[in-house]
Amino acid sequence: MQDVVLALLAKEPSHGYELRARLQEALGPLGEELNAGQVYVTLRRLAKAGLVEARVVGQSDRPDRKVYELTPAGRERVAAWLADVSWGRPAPAEFHLKLVAAALSRLADPVAVVDAQRRELLRRLADVQRAALAQPAGSGAALLLEGTALRLRADLTWLESCAAHWSARED
């Protein structure tokens, strides 16, 4: 969540309500589960870590509000996050938010982010397939490696859908 908030702030300084609205829009129905307080807690943690700065902006007809913007350290962290291809077992919503944040912040091309992730998963799939070939047929290790390969193939298929979606948006 922290990296997504940072990337959204890379587009423009914002207050918590704006950030929450952007997250909910990006997540669609899944965004309904987003707790309003979660954004504010995240902003406080980011400020404490020196990744964002808050300034109070006065309003004539409403209470003053805090507007947050990235510090240079925050920009560095966003760039590192967008370039990160460590996949683990991400939730599709998490990677989707990475792509949305990349597009909104204009710090990275979502298709390039997908391509980098795809290359990493293809490398991992090749490693798993080599390891599977070294196992005796019918062994527990071979079964586990088969499951890992199937999961990687499913992730690669989903990445193809992501690439198609973001390529279509660029046209």
Q: What is the pLDDT of residue 162?
A: 94
Task: Provide the mean pLDDT of the chain.
Answer: 88
Q: What is the pLDDT of residue 168?
A: 93
**Mean pLDDT value of segment 19-48:** 84
| Residue 30, pLDDT above cutoff 70 | no
CB atoms within 10 A of CB 93: 14
Instruction: Give the SS3 label for residue 53.
Output: strand
Lowest mean pLDDT among 25-29, 41-45, 123-127: 25-29
Q: What is the pLDDT of residues 111-152, one digit of tens each?
A: 999 999 999 999 999 998 998 888 888 888 888 889 989 999
**Mean pLDDT value of segment 64-83:** 93
Q: What is the pLDDT of residue 27?
A: 75
Q: Measured between alpha carbons, how far is 154 from 57 in angstroms, rounded to an integer?
A: 47
41-61 burial code (b ≥16 CB/10 A, e <16): ebbeebbeeebbebeeeeeee
End-to-end CA distance of the chain: 29
Q: What is the pLDDT of residue 89?
A: 66
CB atoms within 10 A of CB 123: 12
Q: What is the pLDDT of residue 6?
A: 92
141-158 burial code (b ≥16 CB/10 A, e <16): ebeebeebbeebeebeee
Strand segments, DSSP code E, in 25-109 are 52-57, 65-70
CB atoms within 10 A of CB 113: 25
Which residue shows structure tokens 């959204």?
8
Q: What is the pLDDT of residues 76-114, one digit of tens each?
A: 999 999 998 887 666 788 888 899 989 988 889 999 999
Instruction: Give the SS3 label for residue 86.
Output: coil
Contact status, residue 42 vs residue 35, Cβ threshold 8 Å: no
Strand 52-57 relative to strand 65-70, pairing: antiparallel
| Residue 31, pLDDT above cutoff 80 | no
Q: What is the pLDDT of residue 94?
A: 85
Of 31 and 140, more confident: 140
